[in-house]
Structure 1
């Protein structure tokens, strides 16, 4: 009976706060700014940056010191690819390296002397393709066709060399890959960079709005946890639908293909927003003022961008960076959402992600259960 009374009391306090917040959610210009104006403006800017999708016809220099039929075939095939537009630097490797350093070209192919002769004699010469890593996207896309080209050459000349020496080509082993935590598996900046940027930036607005709401709670109301949750609940629903709307626009305009269940995305986004709100509560509770809480948002966003797998693959991170990555809710939400975009993510994976995201509000509730009320009371005194 006591438990039932507590639940009813919790629900009534939550309902009163929720109804009160819904009555004036769009009556202040600041709320309009944080809820839809600024998020959609930034979404438009991101869309314009990545509107061309994959980078094509990037200038790539080459220095061919062999000038054989095989080297010329390699140059023609690389130039025929979608990403590279080759520029001849004759025999001057120095001029090619200088142009690469000044970003006049984004890659430089060097074919050594006697390349064809060495290939046919089985000496395995190594043509080298450099790219400017300071221009990460452009440099990486400029050399994207090269690995496939070399694989094709190896498979063809492997058979030729085996036939000349009278040996049969051994059968290649069949390998099965198990992978998790996708890092741009689509190979398309439209599918990965814009998608991850939109999901990442939502966290910024959710945390900012959470701190703003907590800092503006009315003085006349006794601050309790169900009251706080009721005040935040409308924004949980709003930001969930906002991100789903932005993802839908991305799918529509880029003609992206969603392999998984779109309704599963709604579930992941809902728990992701709750996790982001709990981080906002944590920042507010453990800072002296609202301004101090706002000042830590930049640090939060920077850590999320750096260690969530957006900039650097998780497998390429040192151990300490992987620990930080495992703390970020963006890591789990982004991986699962991108999984749903590219392949049929299973129910187990979906439930696992939602449970992990629910750990954040549970742990933070235990941390701030008493401190939050004291912090809200102090905020009233400061006001």
Structure 2
């Protein structure tokens, strides 16, 4: 049989399986759960968690041992910021430290005695702001306004001190920074996490659905690889459009400005879904039963979350973790989708990412082509 005939035979089997699956894709209640009910429920849950964007009015204690106009100004301005709500611990620094250790407050500001007098005399006293690093997000957000406040006071009192000693203040260099956050100019990491979670969780549903489809293939039909691909193709298109729909909702509600080409996003999402489906085929082929395949989905998704740069920045990983990150399709999909949001990613970079994602189905096809058919036959016997 020549190559042309092989291609024609492949396409015929693929088309038959595709058309057959399209007839009852939404006639099974389980499919509704995996195709849109659970994905959208989780999407709404994630959106509600991150709806405020940042953490506001976090309890922050202060101990003011100076009680001067300058110390009161610092406390008043920090309390006026969006992130911190100041609580007085005049009873003593020890009580404030105990409250910090018990997470009754997330940070503690200490202003030493003679603070204002030392500032005006040029002795550069240092107020100290501690935060509880065990509560990383809450602790970090509670001190977010402090650095800007101190910078403003330094600029103000620098001019006052210079006038008192009779010298002119040299003009500082001005640097203008222009950057685009993922969804807004604040560069809020909450939006980054929300976007990452949406892309990451899609892989969970794609892999689970792929295993489910393979475990439920009609027993009346002789299984073949073109037949399997035809059965999976409708779900490739569905999950691609679902991901684009969820990203569009994020853009709409977050008033994002997409720098790249939306069609390029669609292309990357399509190849990302194919790569995720190939992982589902791999799990199904190299396990003894469908239940065993399901049991490994959590491990696969956990590795993807840990080593894709969502939880830990890729540049801060040891080389072993980077090697694991380099074999995760989520890593490449996220990086390119972020580029399409933030920058005008060129066509070459998009095609490069799609080519990398296409390596997964090619390699897995070579590994499981014969084994998958045997595995499906064994599934019939079980």
Normalized against structure 1, the TM-score is what?
0.87
What pairs with 1:66-85 in structure 2 (closer than 5 Å)?
66-85=66-85
Aligned: 1:308 with 2:308: yes
Q: Deviations over 1:181-201 (max 9, x none)?
A: x8x995435522222221111
Residue ranges of structure 2 left out of the alignment (5+ in a row):
none
Rounded to whole Å, the distance in 2 between the matches of 1:285 and 1:177 is: 50
Q: Give 2:196's aligned residue.
A: 196
Q: Give 2:132's aligned residue.
A: 132
Rounded to whole Å, the distance in 1 between the matches of 2:125 and 2:304 is: 43
Q: Deviations over 1:20-39 (max 9, x none)?
A: 11111111111111111111
Q: Deviations over 1:102-138 (max 9, x none)?
A: 3322222223344445555665544332223333332
1:158·1:169 contact (CA, 8 Å) conserved in 2? no
2:50·2:191 contact (CA, 8 Å) conserved in 1? no
1:133–1:347 Cα change, 3 Å: farther
Residue 271 (structure 1) shift:
1.3
What pairs with 1:104-123 in structure 2 (closer than 5 Å)?
104-119=104-119
Residue ranges of structure 1 left out of the alignment (5+ in a row):
none
1:191·1:256 contact (CA, 8 Å) conserved in 2? no
Rounded to whole Å, the distance in 2 between the matches of 1:83 and 1:338 is: 27
Rounded to whole Å, the distance in 1 between the matches of 2:108 and 2:321 is: 32
Rounded to whole Å, the distance in 2 between the matches of 1:150 and 1:48 is: 34
1:260–1:159 Cα change, 3 Å: farther
1:59·1:106 contact (CA, 8 Å) conserved in 2? yes
Q: Secondary structure at the match of 2:322?
A: helix
Normalized against structure 2, the TM-score is what?
0.88
Q: Secondary structure at the match of 2:287?
A: coil
Q: State how many pairs are aligned.
A: 381
Rounded to whole Å, the distance in 2 between the matches of 1:348 and 1:313 is: 25
Q: Give 1:325's aligned residue.
A: 325
Q: Give 2:278's aligned residue.
A: 278
Q: Give 1:263's aligned residue.
A: 263
Q: Aligned-residue CA RMSD in angstroms?
A: 3.1
1:241–1:380 Cα change, 3 Å: same
Residue 334 (structure 1) shift:
2.0
What pairs with 1:154-193 in structure 2 (closer than 5 Å)?
154-156=154-156, 164=165, 169=170, 187-188=187-188, 190-193=190-193
What pairs with 1:1-40 in structure 2 (closer than 5 Å)?
2-40=2-40
Aligned: 1:41 with 2:50: no
- Say which is worse superposed, 22-31 or 41-50, in terms of deviation: 41-50
What pairs with 1:230-269 in structure 2 (closer than 5 Å)?
230-269=230-269
Rounded to whole Å, the distance in 1 between the matches of 2:345 and 2:88 is: 46
Q: Secondary structure at the match of 2:110?
A: strand
Q: Deviations over 1:284-304 (max 9, x none)?
A: 111111100100111112222
Q: Give 2:99's aligned residue.
A: 99
- Say which is worse superposed, 65-74 or 54-63, in terms of deviation: 65-74
Residue 149 (structure 1) shift:
2.8
1:73–1:176 Cα change, 3 Å: closer
Q: Give 2:376's aligned residue.
A: 376
Rounded to whole Å, the distance in 2 between the matches of 1:178 and 1:358 is: 32
Rounded to whole Å, the distance in 1 between the matches of 2:96 and 2:345 is: 46
Q: Deviations over 1:339-362 (max 9, x none)?
A: 333343333432332222222222
Rounded to whole Å, the distance in 1 between the matches of 2:203 and 2:118 is: 56
Rounded to whole Å, the distance in 1 between the matches of 2:268 and 2:224 is: 28
1:348–1:108 Cα change, 3 Å: farther
Q: Deviations over 1:54-93 (max 9, x none)?
A: 2222221122233344433332332222211222212622
Rounded to whole Å, the distance in 2 between the matches of 1:242 and 1:345 is: 23
